Amino acid sequence: MTVELKKRIITSILLFLLVIFCVFINWPIYILFIIIVSGIALNEIAVLIWRIEKSASTKNWIPFRLISFIYIFFIFLPLAGSFYSLGPIFILYILLICIFSDIGGYVVGKTIGGKKLTKISPKKTISGSIGSFCFSLAPPLLFYIFNQSEHYYSFNNFLLCLQISLVCQLGDIFISYIKRKAKVKNTGNFLPGHGGLLDRIDGIIFAIPFIWIHMNGLNAYFEIMKDVMSRL
């Protein structure tokens, strides 16, 4: 087992346990955790943009600051917060899909190697992407074994897992693009020896809104935001 793989597994387990711990305590603690995570992620994005602007002597990335703020605090945060009502098992299930997808991509990509997936992130390979898809199917199989619910062992659920894996991979590639532009390896040093928090949750940040919209529809989101704005 490589050092990098150990880091991914350790941070994934710690994040997983911390989220579940917050869910089991109460809603205020859970939402506080989501707010803190959102704030750290947004700060890391802001620093990356600052590095890009500094190295390129351009302010063309200023609109991206606003887009990042809107996405994190008006899309990711409220939708991630709403997952609390679905219970710890559901949150556990979604996290496992994202984590298995990430680890699968790394393990298979490093083991098999092969043709590069994209120039944006040279270390990512086609075999790694396939590994992500395959590993993302592990959680529903595990849940079916222990729960015996036909809901997990269904074509639609397997298809959803593959879609979540795809979104996670696209999120990972997008953040890799930002890091490449900023000429840095990690999004930050929030996790000493591991990199930034965003390095570990980039896929999750993009997967959460996708899952919510998949379950409830885009119109439901606009209705929620309309209600929130009317209360301000």
Query: What is the Cβ-side half-sphere exposure of residue 209, based on CA atoms within 13 angstroms?
Result: 18
- Do 165 and 136 form a contact (C-beta atoms < 8 A)? yes
- Do 44 and 22 form a contact (C-beta atoms < 8 A)? no
pLDDT computed for residue 58 by the predictor: 65
pLDDT computed for residue 55 by the predictor: 77
Query: To the nearest 10°, the Cα dihedral for 150, 163, 172, 89?
Result: -20
**Per-residue pLDDT tens over the stretch 154-202:** 888 899 999 999 999 999 999 999 998 888 888 888 876 667 888 888 8
**Per-residue pLDDT tens over the stretch 58-92:** 667 778 888 999 999 889 998 998 888 888 888 88
**Per-residue pLDDT tens over the stretch 13-54:** 888 788 888 888 888 899 999 999 999 999 999 999 888 888
d(CA 222, CA 213): 11
pLDDT computed for residue 199 by the predictor: 85
pTM for this one?
0.88
